[in-house]
Amino acid sequence: MMLVSVLLEILRRPTIGDVLAELMMFMAPLWIAVVVGVLVGWTWKPKWANLGREMLDCSSVPSNSSPAPPAASSSTVAAPSSVSASIPCLNSLKLQLPSCISWIGDDGIDKSLMAPTGDSDCSPSQLKAENSVVVAEDDLEHLCQLVEVKDGGPAWIQMMDRSTPTMSYKAWRRDPDTGPPQYRSSTIFEDATPELVRDFFWDDGFRLKWDDMLIYAATLEECPTTGTMLVHWVRKFPFFCSDREYMIGRRIWESGRSYYCVTKGVPCSSVPRRNKPRRVDLYYSSWCIRAVESKRGDGQLTACEVLLFHHEDMGIPWEIAKLGVRQGMWGAVKKVDPGLRAYQKERGSGAALSRYAFMAQINTKVSADYLRSLESTNNDSSEVETFGSSEKPMGRNIPKLLVVGGAIALACSLDRGLLTKAVIFGVARSFARIGRRL
- Provide DSSP, 315-361: SS-HHHHHHHHHHHHHHHHTTHHHHHHHHHHHHHTTPPPPHHHHHHT
| 182-189 vs 214-222, strand pairing mode | unpaired
Which residues, other chains included, contact 81 with Cβ-Cβ below 8 Å and sequence gap of 6+? 106, 107
Cα–Cα distance measured from residue 130 to residue 125, given in angstroms and rounded to the nearest whole number: 9
In percent, how much of the chain has pLDDT > 90?
39
- How far from 406 is each of 32, 371, 375, CA to CA, in Å? 9, 47, 44
Q: How far is 116 from 211, CA to CA, in rounded Å? A: 24
Given this model, what pLDDT does residue 238 score?
62
Model pLDDT, residue 29: 76
DSSP 8-state symbol, 393: P
Q: Which of 22-31, 153-162, 368-377 has the lowest mean pLDDT?
A: 22-31
CB 332 within 8 A of CB 422: yes
Q: What are phi and psi of 352, to 5 degrees?
A: -65, 145
Residue 315 pLDDT grade (very low, low, confident, very high; cuts 50, 70, 90): low
The pLDDT of residue 43 is: 52
- Beta-bridge partners for 52: none
The pLDDT mean for the chain works out to 73
Binned at pLDDT 50, 70 and 90, residue 286 comes out as very high
Residue 112 to residue 371: CA distance in whole angstroms: 43
- Structural domain spans, the chain: 86-385
Question: What pairs with residue 304 in β-bridges?
Answer: 189, 291
Question: Residues with Cβ < 8 Å from 339, sequence gap 6 or more?
Answer: 200, 206, 207, 209, 210, 211
- Written as one letter, the residue type at 374 is L
**265: enclosing H helix or E strand:** strand 258-265
Task: Report how far residue 230's alpha carbon sits from residue 433's, in angstroms, rounded to the nearest whole number.
Answer: 42
pLDDT tier for residue 254 given thresholds of 50, 70 and 90: very high
Name the least confident of 60-64, 222-226, 258-262, 345-349. 60-64
Work out the average pLDDT over 81-108: 36
What is each CA distance from 126 to 118, 175, 228, 231, in whole angstroms? 10, 37, 11, 15
Q: In degrees rounded to 5, what are phi and psi of residue 350?
A: 85, 20
CATH number of 86-385: 3.30.530.20
The answer to whether 386 and 287 have CB atoms below 8 angstroms apart is no
Helices (H), 44-123: 51-60, 81-86, 88-96
- Written as one letter, the residue type at 30 is L
Contact 24, 398 (CB under 8 A): yes
In terms of pLDDT, which residue wins out, 41 or 221?
221
Could you read off the pLDDT of 190-222 as tens digits, one per residue?
999 999 999 999 999 999 999 988 999 999 999
Secondary structure (H, E, C), 157-189:
EEEEEEEECCEEEEEEEECCCCCCCEEEEEEEE
User: Torsions phi, psi of 115, nearest 5?
Assistant: -110, 150
Residue 7: pLDDT band with limits 50, 70, 90: low
- Backbone torsions φ then ψ of 122, nearest 5 degrees: -70, 160
Residue 398 pLDDT > 50, yes or no?
A: no
Residue 256, sorted as left (phi over 0), alpha (psi -120 to 50) or beta, turns out to be left
Q: Is the pLDDT of residue 386 over 90?
A: no
Indicate whether 63 pLDDT > 60: no
Of 120-134, 136-150, 231-245, 293-307, give the lowest mean pLDDT range: 120-134
Instruction: Tell me the DSSP string of 217-234.
Output: EEEEEE-TTT--EEEEEE
Res 239: pLDDT: 60
Give the CB-side neighbour count of residue 307, counting CA atoms within 13 A.
14
Q: What is the mean pLDDT of residues 61-69?
A: 36
* Between 258 and 122, residue with greater pLDDT: 258
Residue 304 to residue 307: CA distance in whole angstroms = 10
What pLDDT shows up at residue 18?
A: 77
β strands within 352-393, DSSP E: 364-365, 384-385
pTM for the complete prediction?
A: 0.64
What average pLDDT does this structure show over 339-359? Answer: 95
User: Is 270 a residue whose pLDDT tops 80?
Assistant: yes
Quote the pLDDT of residue 408. 53
- What single letter denotes the amino acid at residue 381? S
